[in-house]
Structure 1
Amino acid sequence: MLKINQVFKSFGEKDILKEVSFEAHSGEIIGLVAPNGTGKSTLLNIIMNFLTPDAGEVTILDQYGYRSKKQEIKMHEYLSFLPELNDLYAELSGYEHMKLYAKMWKGKVTSIDDIIESLNMTHYVKKPVGTYSLGMRQRLAFAMLLAADTEIMLMDEVMNGLDPDNVTLLTNELIELKRRGKVILIASHLLDNLDLYANRILFFRDGHILLETREGEVDKINQSYIKIHLNKPKYDELKAVKDFPENTQYIAGKIVAIPLKSLEKIEINDWIQFFIDQNILNVTIGQIGTAEWYEEFYNQ
């Protein structure tokens, strides 16, 4: 539905995005992961046409793009963007903000009360936004997107300023949006939470997509591992006395990961027993999460 094709963007002599290409389809949430200043927000702004790429294009349904003002209007019928908190009007109520977004995109406000109830906003939504806490404003920004109800939604740090209960609340709403067939691109620093709802996660580095992971695929990030937390000297010491499987990885400077698919069931028990015999008790079986891969790619 949404296609990013060979997008390139630089600021001065710094290349931020280099020929970035991918497609997003109905019922798909794509997470964008990279350190600050490495292109996530730039990409979202290009998709909205807030920024113009130096090369490449953004299209919807293989027919609409930013080739003319008429086409731009058509693009924005499909697209909405999480509002910046600084762009909210202090003197207007949350309800008035939601009503504005609903009328701009849908031309009606019939779903607003349901959104308010689902996001537990009833007790404050008709108060001026200037009285809201950071978390209340963040929830309002998300509610405004729900009121717009576009087919494609772009979100930059939607969980910012939320306590754990509200993070869970918005996570459940995102899962419901996915079920309804929405396309969502979301940049978030809550990486473990991103694993709960994203179909795909794109890791960016040096302007390129470094790694793309897909929900349900047996690939580098989604397969299961024996995970052992070890420092490097101890890992090297163990390797000297026992041959590790060839595709064992040392991740994020702290985790030895042995892919289960490389082992027979009896070998799995043997490996776990080996680490216990070495008095290494922090041994688990599970997936390598997005947060661990983030540390591997960016914090070395």
Structure 2
Amino acid sequence: MIVEVNNLKKRYKKQMVLKGIDIQVEEPQIIALVGPNGSGKTTLLNCMTNLLSFQEGEVKLLGKKQTDASIFRDVSYLQDNRILYGNLTGYDHLKFICSVQKIDISKIKEVAERVGMEKYLKKRVRNYSLGMKQHLLLAMVIINEPKLLLMDEPLNGLDPTSAINMRKILLELYEEGTTIIVSSHNLDEIDRLTNTIYFMKDGALLKESLQDISSKKYLITVNDIEKAKRVLHEKVIPFTVTDQYQLGFEETDVDLQSFINSLNDNAITIKDIEVQKVGAEKRYRELFEEELSS
């Protein structure tokens, strides 16, 4: 068993933050952990990695209790950048990890190239941007080639290119046999990373398979957006305007061919059709409707 969390309960004074959390992971996969700020995601990850104590329950990672320090040979936890030291370089951080983990120092160059930080590896962290700090944090948690990787908001501060590279690395790690549990607010990236998601609400976890709840969203670029809008309104076909020349709709609202036919029959030229998967955000809106409207 890779992860065993049984009836985990955590409270701060009288406030119960985690209300009997259960997680079982038997084989490598990528799992997303989603919920509003304050829902307990970071608390859960901190309890799993022994950074926080808890009142009830049990946690085992790779068959060992979370209190067994030896698990961190094969388990890594990406936290926020407050753990970094501004006066040290990125190289200094990675060199320290190599020393503790007994990793050959030549691994630093390899991992720096993999995450794309070789150009600023020897600069002091106090001069890093937010995105550069995220690159360093990623390098720090993958340099030991972990079997289990826990990540708290790894996409924070990343530009689109860096986010795409991050996703590529995580998928590569998964293909290499690493199990990844990632907490993130970036629902579009979650749709691209995994079909398994745990929504955290009121201190409890709700497990979902995005294969069961996801649908497709189509983005249609046309030559005459105003005429297209008039035609679709007349035919009572639901749509959104996503760009100056782009319409959007979900497959659950209207059939793609019917949408295309409505435009073609009225001499509206379709220039491009883009398909996106919609799952995490759709379910999030259903679960957290009150939070979104407040």
Fold-level similarity (TM above 0.5): yes
> 2: distance between equivalents of 1:286 and 1:125?
36
C-alpha displacement of 1:296: 2.2
C-alpha displacement of 1:79: 1.9
C-alpha displacement of 1:27: 2.9
Which residue number in structure 2 is paired with residue 158 of structure 1? 154
Which residue number in structure 2 is paired with residue 142 of structure 1? 138
1:159-183 deviation line (CA, Å, top 9, x unaligned): 1111111111111111111111111
Unaligned runs of 5+ in 2: 220-235, 237-248, 266-273
- Identity percentage of aligned residues: 33
Q: Aligned match of 2:71 in 75, 78, 86?
A: 75
Give the superposed CA RMSD: 3.2
Which residue number in structure 1 is paired with residue 225 of structure 2? none
Distance 1:114 1:140, change over 3 A: same
**Structure 2 residue 252 is the aligned partner of structure 1 residue 258:** yes
> 1: distance between equivalents of 2:116 and 2:252?
44
- Report the 3-state secondary structure (helix = DSSP H, G, I; strand = E; otherwise coil) of the residue aligned with 1:212: strand
8 Å contact 1:224–1:259 — kept in the other structure?
A: no
8 Å contact 1:27–1:180 — kept in the other structure?
A: no
Which residue number in structure 2 is paired with residue 293 of structure 1? 283
- Report the 3-state secondary structure (helix = DSSP H, G, I; strand = E; otherwise coil) of the residue aligned with 2:198: strand
8 Å contact 1:7–1:17 — kept in the other structure?
A: yes
8 Å contact 2:47–2:54 — kept in the other structure?
A: yes
Taking the TM superposition and a 5 Å limit, the aligned residue runs for 1:78-227 are: 78-213=74-209, 217=211, 219=212, 221-222=213-214
C-alpha displacement of 1:83: 3.9
Which residue number in structure 1 is paired with residue 65 of structure 2? 65
* Greater than 4 Å deviation, 4+ residue runs: 223-227, 267-274, 284-287
1:35-71 deviation line (CA, Å, top 9, x unaligned): 010110011000111111211111134x4114xxxx6
Which residue number in structure 2 is paired with residue 9 of structure 1? 10
C-alpha displacement of 1:290: 1.0
> 2: distance between equivalents of 1:3 and 1:40?
16
> 2: distance between equivalents of 1:131 and 1:271?
51
Q: TM-score, normalised by structure 2?
A: 0.76
Distance 1:270 1:187, change over 3 A: same
Distance 1:119 1:269, change over 3 A: closer
Which residue number in structure 2 is paired with residue 39 of structure 1? 40
Question: What is the letter of the counterpart of residue 64 of structure 2?
Answer: Y
Distance 1:259 1:144, change over 3 A: same
Question: What is the letter of the counterpart of residue 65 of structure 2?
Answer: G
1:56-112 deviation line (CA, Å, top 9, x unaligned): 111134x4114xxxx612233332211431221122110111122233235323322
> 2: distance between equivalents of 1:189 and 1:225?
20
Length, aligned pairs only:
258
8 Å contact 1:25–1:183 — kept in the other structure?
A: no
Task: Out of 186-195 and 25-34, give the one that drifted further.
Answer: 25-34
C-alpha displacement of 1:285: 8.0
Question: What is the letter of the counterpart of residue 65 of structure 1?
Answer: K
Task: Out of 197-206 and 36-45, give the one that drifted further.
Answer: 197-206
> 2: distance between equivalents of 1:256 and 1:192?
15
8 Å contact 1:32–1:186 — kept in the other structure?
A: yes
> 2: distance between equivalents of 1:53 and 1:152?
21
Q: TM-score, normalised by structure 1?
A: 0.75
- Report the 3-state secondary structure (helix = DSSP H, G, I; strand = E; otherwise coil) of the residue aligned with 1:50: coil
Which residue number in structure 2 is paired with residue 281 of structure 1? none
> 2: distance between equivalents of 1:225 and 1:259?
10
Unaligned runs of 5+ in 1: 228-240, 242-254, 261-266, 278-283
